[in-house]
């Protein structure tokens, strides 16, 4: 059973000049936004895992976060994070959201163009099976680490307030795209 007032950290990325920023929205179910965080990572790098862990641990919000929810499995291109390491070091479950079914054949092909592609592919495989859920007559896809599937589904449903995209991710995307492009975009 999912408590009504859980706090979700929704993460999305944006590009500012040549930098990649990750924007986090701390969202409390049935209450709204309680905070914002931001940190930098390398484009196509390997630092997103440590950046997430460090910023969650040192943030004043860190001890209140019940779930981390991300828009996809990577930030800044193919800076793929390690969900199991994040969960093991923070104790915070992760739910990865995608509005389109991930095409792992295409992901693998793209990864082969980058250095250390086998390491990156190994991270992709850590996310586990992709599951689907119907929200507002649309399918979205998710993966979950450190949380039961039934609880992940309940959190997704309860956090889809205004659209088929969970509110913490929708808001992180709006802020990230607004900062990056000068105005926010709806497309996520």
CATH number at residue 57: 3.30.2170.10
Residue 173 in any domain: the answer is yes
Judging by beta carbons within 10 Å of its beta carbon (0-12, 13-18, 19+), is residue 38 exposed, middle or buried?
middle
Asked if the model's pLDDT at residue 31 lies above 80, the reply is yes
Mean pLDDT of 131-136: 95
Whole-model pTM: value is: 0.94
Residue 77 in any domain: the answer is yes
Asked if the model's pLDDT at residue 187 lies above 70, the reply is no
Q: Which residues contact 170 (CB under 8 A, 6 or more apart)?
A: 10, 162, 163, 188
Q: Please report how the helices 48-58 and 83-90 are oriented relative to each other, as an axis angle in degrees rounded to 10.
A: 20
Q: pLDDT band at residue 186, thresholds of 50, 70 and 90?
A: low
Residue 188 in any domain: the answer is no
- pLDDT given at position 181: 77
Residue 30 in any domain: the answer is yes
Mean pLDDT of 96-100: 96
Total count of domains within the chain:
1
Tell me the backbone φ, ψ of residue 19, rounded to 5 degrees. -95, 150
Side-chain half-sphere exposure of 171, counting CA atoms within 13 A: 22
Residue 2 in any domain: the answer is no
Distances in Å between the Cα of 78 and the Cα atoms of 22, 42, 94, 119 are 13, 10, 18, 11
Q: Are 152 and 95 spatial neighbours (Cβ–Cβ below 8 Å)?
A: yes
Residue 187 in any domain: the answer is no
Residue 15 in any domain: the answer is yes
Q: Which domain holds residue 85?
A: 7-181
Residue 108 in any domain: the answer is yes
Q: Please report how the helices 104-111 and 117-125 are oriented relative to each other, as an axis angle in degrees rounded to 10.
A: 160
């Amino acid at each position: 059973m999912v408590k009504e007032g859980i706090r979700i950290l929704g993460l999305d990325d944006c590009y500012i000049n040549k930098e990649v920023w990750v924007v986090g929205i701390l969202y409390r179910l049935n209450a709204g936004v309680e905070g914002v965080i931001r940190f930098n990572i390398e484009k196509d790098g390997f630092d997103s895992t440590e950046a997430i862990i460090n910023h969650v641990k040192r943030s004043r919000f860190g001890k209140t976060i019940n779930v981390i929810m991300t828009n996809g499995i990577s930030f800044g291109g193919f800076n793929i994070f390690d969900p199991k390491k994040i969960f093991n070091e923070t104790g915070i479950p992760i739910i990865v959201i995608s509005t389109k079914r991930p095409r792992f054949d295409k992901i693998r092909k793209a990864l082969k163009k980058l250095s250390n592609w086998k390491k990156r592919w190994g991270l992709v495989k850590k996310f586990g099976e992709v599951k689907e859920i119907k929200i507002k007559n649309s399918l979205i896809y998710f993966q979950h680490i450190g949380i039961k599937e039934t609880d992940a589904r309940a959190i997704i449903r309860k956090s889809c307030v205004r659209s088929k995209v969970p509110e913490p991710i929708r808001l992180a995307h709006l802020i990230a795209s607004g900062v990056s492009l000068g105005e926010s975009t709806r497309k996520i």
